[in-house]
A and B are shown apart, each in its own frame.
Chain A
């Protein structure tokens, strides 16, 4: 019998296994329970696709969405509703990036101890890092044009403005035909990828700073066009003799195409990859669309244009703002988040750029504002920026404006893209100014 007893310990092994797995499961539930409970198919969290309880507020406590008596209501003001549609989500659940789906656990008031139990049925509060004033300003500045606006705090990674156009009023959704091509459900700042145009010259410039020792001593000359790899790269006008600072400020295609060919496609690709412009970036549990950088043939015309942000290049606005944040942050870029004070436990930063390179880029971007964009167009903002006017086939070019303001109280980096709006500096620049003014109020 003593032997039987010893052999019975085999059952104890099974018990030990069960205890171990129970511990593993309990730990998992404690860690991930919030996102599990926020699962849209969880009947305790959603009823026919709508969240059961809770409130979404902006960073100043303005209510953007609230469930009262089982009925979900968006903000009282229509502009706010339209400007924040893609941020919050729609009634039908077509907008997958909506905060009501991605932060459902927080909105419902999940905590590991009580789960979704809410004694008064009110659920919880999601405090977004978003500034509703900036949302409205961005929406109004877009003036109905399609595009994307994103502004982030480059110290904490909190996104203070995220607007996508076209949009609609979620309280009064229009009939949207099944064959709609406007991408009205697409949250452009996170989910679109646009031809970058000249804003990509920041990448080429970063690579040039690190790889060409005499870059700042070099004299460049632009005659309005240059033969590169059997094709002709053109500028809007002949820029004449200049230094590299002027080439960026003037956004000289000839200079940057030549630099791209000199650096080589592989080097440029390596930098685009390192800056996160070709991969999907994280915004809390969401992921942005990936950008694209196809290396043209060595020494070719295509490579030249790709170094100037044309050819097959694509960038996502959120990924772009993350890169610009690294320029502002001496090479460090914080993880992006939409939650206010989410970073109180410490900000996770990715180091994607050498600090000295970041400083040089920043200086040149400031110079570009002084020389080309005009500081008067951005009153009160210590702006560092780069514009882009991206050719998109036969239509009017997409207008880009990216950059940051050097202001410890308002450490904001931004990316604005207005589709088919024409000149980057004048069109997107105006939108950027409007948003930044709202942010710094």
Chain B
């Protein structure tokens, strides 16, 4: 902090001269810091054995105790069942044992061949199940033993907490240095034209990082990797904005703040599964309404009609619909077995994609479609559903292209950008030229010139990052999102409910698809569609929605005391004792 204060007090022209020296030194430091941050987060998020939470057992006559490691368990003969009972009379997918947030357990038969009996009686529909109950799957008898308060307490004690080996505070110090150096580069590069927003926004970002860290520690949570990676990307995004539109930094900061608040709000809301589940229908309605309002009132900015003006502030409703989409798509196990639920979701998804296509926002439509495919597959496990969806969409696209061949002309330059550098390949060729100019280490923050090209700070954000900070940092930014996605996948194995697992994976699919279209569209590997690079591209609505989506990743993180979006065992146990075993 002192360094940047000192820099601010210097004569601006001296800054400009000093800028060359600063760049010469710091351009090698930033990639090192970026890689270190990424590696520390990767080790912390992906390494080590998954320690599943155990919520109860099924005790077999032979003395074996089969663990119930989730709140939603499928009992069956299949190897993919959560509780695998290898008896001839047990169906492959026989029954579901689910626990609600209050610790109550329920049993449901999943149309098994030989039926399920609870306490000797045939089970119909869903029934509550208690400690010591005898359950008969086909002809296999089990005794149900839920974990006790003591069990859970012991488990909480024994599970390793994240941050013990890779300390999140130390990673955050590295990130602070990264942001500080980036801020200094931009401040120095601006010289006499320095806008106070530039140093101010980088300092504000550092303050926000540490405030979030303080909140996390204050809530006795030790997982901070998701936030660290998100702030890392946000810092790079601030650099993009500082180069292209320093005045716009204020709005960007404000939206960042709103995004972080939304992150904590959604995360906290997701803590309670019952509460979160109830939001599904309202969210679907809000999503469709937002898109319809958008369709009716929106004005076309830069080709796509996805902007709405409210009180002089332009705004992209489709960004917020992404959050609604994830809420609607996520589902608990009990809903997965009713086909009509999936059909309803397919209808909702189709409505969203059609609205976006009607706005000519094909990039975002593709993002929603990818999320739909992942959600539909995770919910149904059926390749047929996926293939049918793909085939249906393919047919739709084919019909659109036949009826309106000019849509295709947008993609005519794909793969041939250099042959049409002043036409269809305009953005791509400039992105690649600028990226190559940066080499591995970049020209230095604020020293690039790609930002002079129209919409460089959104559609060509990857090029701006590669130009100013080099390919290493640019690739690190890609890997940061990839890492978040792998983390979501890993978390989905131990998430308490499929709601969280599907939510996290759907959210990351949206972000990854955006990333893919943005980066590889701008370098002519994929068609250029003009979607944003999450957190890196300039854009307020996008900033808010990405932070909102990340809350779903946080809600799936069931490591011990890792996530604020998951209730602490310790607290709950205390309260359960006070209220006689059931939490309010």
Contacts and interface: CB of A to CB of B under 8 A. Distances in A.
Interface of A: 1-12, 14-15, 17-19, 21-22, 24-26, 28-29, 32-34, 36-37, 39, 41-45, 110-117, 119, 121
Chain B contact-residue range equals 35 or more
21 contacts: A1-B501, A3-B81, A3-B82, A4-B492, A5-B492, A5-B493, A7-B378, A11-B374, A14-B374, A28-B523, A32-B436, A41-B429, A43-B434, A43-B450, A44-B434, A44-B449, A45-B433, A112-B439, A115-B442, A116-B438, A117-B444
A117 B27 contact: yes
Nearest to A2: B82
A36 B505 contact: no
Given A4-B502, A29-B432, A115 B439 contact: yes
Contacts of B485: 11-12, 14-15
Given A14-B485, A113-B441, A115-B442, A8 B505 contact: yes
A43 B381 CA distance: 50
Interface string B513-529: 10110011001011000
A37 B432 CA distance: 8
B374 A10 contact: yes
Contacts of A17: 516
Smallest CB-CB A-B distances: 9 pairs: A115-B439, A43-B449, A33-B436, A42-B433, A5-B493, A44-B437, A36-B436, A1-B70, A39-B433
Contact of A36 (B435, B502, B515): B435
Given A4-B378, A36-B429, 18 more contacts: A1-B82, A1-B498, A1-B501, A2-B80, A3-B81, A4-B501, A5-B492, A25-B520, A26-B475, A41-B422, A41-B429, A41-B433, A43-B434, A44-B443, A114-B440, A117-B27, A117-B439, A121-B20
A39 B81 contact: no
B131 to A, nearest CB: 22
A34 B437 CA distance: 8
A19 B525 contact: no
A17 B481 CA distance: 13
Contacts of A10: 373-374, 377-378, 505
Among B333, B430, B505, the one with the most A-chain Cβ atoms within 10 Å of its Cβ is B505
A3 B436 contact: no
Contacts of A18: 478, 482, 512, 515-516
Contacts of B441: 113-115, 117
Given A14-B513, A41-B421, A33 B489 contact: no
B115 interface: no
A8 B520 contact: no
Contact of B433 (A3, A7, A44): A44
Given A25-B520, A37-B433, A41-B430, A15 B482 contact: yes
A22 B443 contact: no
Interface string B461-494: 0000001001100010011001001101100110
Contacts of B453: 43
B509 A11 contact: yes
A12 B432 CA distance: 27
Contacts of A7: 377-378, 381
B520 A110 contact: no
Contacts of B27: 117
A144 B453 CA distance: 44
A114 B439 contact: yes
A9 B482 CA distance: 13
Contacts of A113: 439-441
Interface of B: 20, 24, 27, 69-70, 72-74, 80-82, 333, 370, 373-374, 377-378, 381, 421-422, 429-430, 432-444, 448-450, 452-453, 467, 470-471, 475, 478-479, 482, 485-486, 488-489, 492-493, 495, 498, 501-502, 505, 508-509, 512-513, 515-516, 519-520, 523, 525-526
Contacts of B421: 39, 41
A119 B441 CA distance: 12
Nearest to B69: A1
B509 A14 contact: yes
A5 B433 CA distance: 41
B443 A3 contact: no
A2 B493 contact: yes
B418 to A, nearest CB: 8
A29 B436 contact: yes
B437 A8 contact: no
Nearest to B374: A10
A34 B72 CA distance: 56
A308 to B, nearest CB: 39
B439 A1 contact: no
B436 A115 contact: yes
Given A18-B512, A21-B520, A25-B523, A42 B81 contact: no
B337 to A, nearest CB: 12
A2 B79 CA distance: 9
B377 A14 contact: no
A25 B474 CA distance: 12
B372 to A, nearest CB: 12
Nearest to A29: B436
Nearest to A121: B20
Contact of A116 (B73, B377, B439): B439
Contacts of B432: 29, 36, 39
Contact of A26 (B24, B70, B471, B488): B471
A29 B378 contact: no
Contact of A1 (B381, B488, B495): B495
Contact of A11 (B70, B381, B493, B508): B508
A45 B438 CA distance: 11
B377 to A, nearest CB: 5
Contacts of A21: 516, 519-520, 525-526
Contact of B525 (A15, A25, A45): A25
A119 B435 CA distance: 18
A44 B498 contact: no
A113 B436 CA distance: 9
